[in-house]
Amino acid sequence: MPLKLRRSPRPQPETIPVQRPGWDAASFLTVYLVLVCALPSYLTIPVLGSAGRPSTLWGLVGLLWWIWNRVGVVVPYKRGSGVIRTALLVFVGCVLASYAFAGFRGLPGAESSPADSGMLRLAGWVGIALIAADGIETRERLQTLLRRIVLAGTLMASLGLAQFWTGQSLIDWISLPGFAVDSSLSGVEGRGGFIRPQGTAAHPLEYGVVLCMTLPIAISLAMAETQRGMLLRWLPASVIMFASMLSVSRSALLGVLAGVLVLSPRWPPRVRLYAVFAAAGLGAIMYSVVPGMAGTLKGMFLGVADDSSTVSRTNSYTAAFEIAQRSPFVGRGFSTFLPQYLILDNQFLGLLIEVGVLGLGAFLVVVVMSIIIPWTATRRSTDAGLRQLGAAVSASVAAIALTFAFFDGLGFPMSAGLLFMMVGISASLVRSAR
């Protein structure tokens, strides 16, 4: 009788349950993104004064959370992320020195409260930056956060386009219990016969910061995440770019140009050619759909020498340098140079007056390192998607920094908060790349 061999059962592959990420730094920063971008800037908590914005309070919670998780813990930092983090803390030290000097010399009553609220706002921004730098542990969570930033930029651009076409704010009906309306913030403004949209921001310039900051990220994610459909990938970048063209803002367009110039060296020649055709196509659509917009944009740049806002800005530079010479090293105190003294519309000059040469130098180091280090850390990577993300983060920070030369960006919650978030993301990306 032949011997029958019993076949052993085929081994089954081991199934590992997929663990969905719980509450982490990306979740925390998503809440901050919603508080900054979705909640209209005109809503404040009156009992907290100028620091009474939910985003500021959430940033302070982030700083306490970071301190709680870092006290007594030795955390190894990679070279690039450590440079950004150290530069940020040096800037904080310079601001503290200016605050102490202001208190020593004695502050007028009108400057005392802004100085205190300025320190609270700075603490909230630093908390957000540190949470982003040290809390995002994987590239997957980083990309998830970047997708949410692009979504916020797309929704902001869509709201701005709706404001442009209707000529209405469309959000002035929003009110929340316990909140008051900040009467110092105006509704939609006009320029050159067109409405200047501002989304949920406090000013059209701040709205432009959101657009030029999110556009490089939207383009890079569209190029890197090829598993998604073409329309789903490129629609956000198209909406943001078109909204930038209709923003009627020089600073927004210059920020977009700066972001593209930083981003484009990572593109293959074929992609650069496609980008030129895409920009020309969007320009043709704008020319045909919005008659007169092309001439308005042309006049904004060619007639810049006769523009009233430009003349006012440049005329204040001499007075700003004279004021800065009174306390050249540590400044007169962060957030103590009030708008009624002099309208600067230049955040770098404002920092020179408020925190001196040392504080301005530390701030510039934070910004420059947040641009250079992500670029260099991903330059030699064999992962094309990671190289695109590195260039996108660098381009995003560069775009924000350029717009700060045209308005006091740290005086607005959205532009300031997003800058510090991107600084933290720069450090986080370096950790992922290395």
Instruction: Supply the DSSP string of 1-60, one letter for each residue.
Output: -PPPPPPPPPPPPPP-PPPPP-S-HHHHHHHHHHHHHTS-TTEE-GGGGGG--HHHHHHH
In a domain, residue 288? The reply is yes
Average pLDDT for 180-187: 66
What pLDDT does 190 receive? 78
State residue 404 phi and psi, 5-degree precision. -70, -15
pLDDT beyond 70 at 348: yes
How far apart are the C-alpha atoms of 223 and 227, rounded to whole Å?
A: 10
Helix pair 79-105, 413-433: axis angle to 10 deg: 150
Min mean pLDDT across 82-96, 295-309, 311-325, 339-353 is at: 295-309
At 223, the pLDDT band (50, 70, 90 cuts) reads very high
For residue 228 the two structure tokens come to 């998604």
pLDDT beyond 50 at 53: yes
Average pLDDT for 329-342: 91
Kindly give the residue spans of alpha helices, DSSP state H, lying in 333-408: 347-378, 384-403
At 254, the pLDDT band (50, 70, 90 cuts) reads very high
pLDDT beyond 60 at 383: yes
Q: Look up residue 188 and give its DSSP letter.
A: -
At 325, the pLDDT band (50, 70, 90 cuts) reads very high
181: helix, strand or coil: strand
At 2, the pLDDT band (50, 70, 90 cuts) reads very low
Which position has the higher pLDDT, 215 or 224? 215
- Domains held by the chain: number: 1
Cα end-to-end distance, the chain, whole Å:
66
What pLDDT does 4 receive? 44
Mean pLDDT, all residues of the chain: 87
How far apart are the C-alpha atoms of 276 and 63, rounded to whole Å?
A: 43
Taking the CB of residue 270, how many other CB atoms lie within 10 A of it?
Answer: 8
Q: pTM here?
A: 0.91
In a domain, residue 314? The reply is yes
What pLDDT does 186 receive? 56
Which position has the higher pLDDT, 89 or 46? 89
190: helix, strand or coil: strand
In a domain, residue 281? The reply is yes
In a domain, residue 328? The reply is yes
In a domain, residue 17? The reply is no
Residue range(s) defining the domain that contains residue 31 = 25-433
Min mean pLDDT across 178-187, 235-244, 295-304 is at: 178-187
Q: Could you tell me what percent of the chain has a pLDDT over 70?
A: 88
What pLDDT does 306 receive? 67
Q: Could you tell me what percent of the chain has a pLDDT over 90?
A: 56
How far apart are the C-alpha atoms of 393 and 374, rounded to whole Å?
A: 7
At 78, the pLDDT band (50, 70, 90 cuts) reads low
In a domain, residue 400? The reply is yes
pLDDT beyond 50 at 106: yes
Average pLDDT for 232-241: 94
At 231, the pLDDT band (50, 70, 90 cuts) reads confident
pLDDT beyond 60 at 41: yes
Helix or strand (DSSP H, E) at 311: helix 308-324
Which position has the higher pLDDT, 307 or 320? 320
Which position has the higher pLDDT, 406 or 44? 406
pLDDT beyond 90 at 341: no
At 15, the pLDDT band (50, 70, 90 cuts) reads very low
> How many CA atoms within 13 Å lie on the side-chain side of 16?
2
pLDDT beyond 50 at 368: yes
E-strand stretches of 108-256: 180-181, 189-191, 194-196
Q: Look up residue 247 and give its DSSP letter.
A: S
What pLDDT does 314 receive? 75
How far apart are the C-alpha atoms of 243 and 245, rounded to whole Å?
A: 5
For residue 267 the two structure tokens come to 């593109």
In a domain, residue 378? The reply is yes
In a domain, residue 3? The reply is no
pLDDT beyond 50 at 208: yes
At 97, the pLDDT band (50, 70, 90 cuts) reads very high
pLDDT beyond 70 at 241: yes
Average pLDDT for 353-381: 94
Report the DSSP pairing between strands 194-196 and 189-191: antiparallel
pLDDT beyond 50 at 195: yes
At 185, the pLDDT band (50, 70, 90 cuts) reads low
Could you tell me what percentage of the chain is helix, strand and coil, using 3-state DSSP and rounding each to the nearest 5? 70, 0, 30
pLDDT beyond 60 at 6: no
